[in-house]
């Protein structure tokens, strides 16, 4: 497996961090929603980056997931621990590797698209 981080902080959103920490804690969405005392649709909204919790629920969320509130909001600070290679099955490791490769390709394509757009604007001005 590659030596890059298992959880890409530069690409992660609030919802990604909630889902990642929930999974690292071994909880389903339904279990976590029940522990916090919210509807399942509310938790799904958080994980899908459609809504964000109020401060009191954010504090409960951080405590239940064993991460800091700062990490949930910004990705900085104490987050979940990275799983060891022994905990990741070969199939999952392969999928994670493919996702990382796609992410790099997408970032390269975004850069190329920006360059082409600049070239197009310059050509249209001529």
The string of pLDDT tens digits covering residues 58-85 is 999 999 998 888 888 888 877 776 555 5
**Average pLDDT along the chain:** 82
Q: Which residues lie closer than 8 Å to 48 by C-beta, 6 or more apart?
A: 15
What is the H or E stretch that residue 59 is in?
helix 55-65
- Rounded to a whole number of angstroms, the distance between the first and last alpha carbons of the chain is 49
The pTM (predicted TM-score) of the whole model is 0.58
Residue tagged 């910004």 (tokens): 74
Res 99: pLDDT:
74
DSSP 83: P
Res 104: pLDDT:
73
């Amino acid at each position: 497996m590659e030596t890059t981080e298992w959880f890409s902080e530069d690409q992660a959103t609030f919802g990604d961090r909630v889902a990642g920490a929930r999974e690292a804690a071994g909880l389903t969405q339904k279990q976590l929603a029940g522990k916090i005392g919210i509807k399942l649709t509310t938790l799904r909204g958080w994980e899908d980056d459609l809504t964000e919790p109020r401060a009191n629920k954010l504090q409960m969320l951080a405590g239940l997931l064993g991460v800091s509130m700062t990490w949930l909001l910004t990705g900085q600070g104490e987050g979940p621990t990275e799983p060891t290679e022994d905990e990741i099955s070969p199939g999952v490791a392969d999928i994670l590797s493919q996702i990382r490769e796609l992410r790099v390709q997408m970032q390269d394509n975004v850069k190329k698209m920006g360059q082409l757009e600049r070239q197009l604007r310059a050509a249209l001005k001529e």
